[in-house]
Amino acid sequence: MRIAIGSDQATELTEELLAQLEVRGHKLFTYGPVRIGEADRDWPLVAADVARAVADGGVDEGIVCCWTGTGVTIAANKIPGIRCALAGDAETARGARIYNHANVLALSLRATSAPQMREILDAWFATSSQSGEAQSEWNRQQVERVAALEK
């Protein structure tokens, strides 16, 4: 899978995130300082770059990070077609895929440990917005209602 990943700063968590994604065989497109040693970059810019890559179809999905995870979530969701979800645990990541058809995952650099991040990624990649439960009439209708708000 082609994944855009961006962060406003590089931390041990972003290093571990990149390693986990590479081990899982994903092709990565990086934005902002996701590797230690790179200069910090403003979170709205990084989130918008990742979200545009997803919305334009250049990548399949995105992952964005900032200190709380809230800022990148807000910024990414400003791009039409993006459904970015801040997940602090595996069940939230799973629910975001099923109920919200999330296509961008947001993580908090402050509140997410490496073991939590691995569990979140497991749930995120194991759950598809194309699965049976996610494709229920009710779930599809909710996603359509959100898309209508963008117009």
Q: Is 39 left (phi over 0), alpha (psi -120 to 50) or beta?
A: beta
**Which one is catalytic: 5, 13, 66, 85?**
66
CA distance 9 to 116: 19
Give the 3-state secondary structure percentages of the chain, helix then strand then coil, rounded to 5: 45, 15, 40
- Sorted by sequence, the CB contacts under 8 Å of residue 1 that are 6+ apart come out as 26, 27, 60, 61, 125
Q: Beta 104-108 vs 61-66: how paired, if at all?
A: parallel
In which residue are the tokens 């390693």 written? Answer: 19
66 is known as an active-site residue: yes
Residues with catalytic annotation? Answer: 66
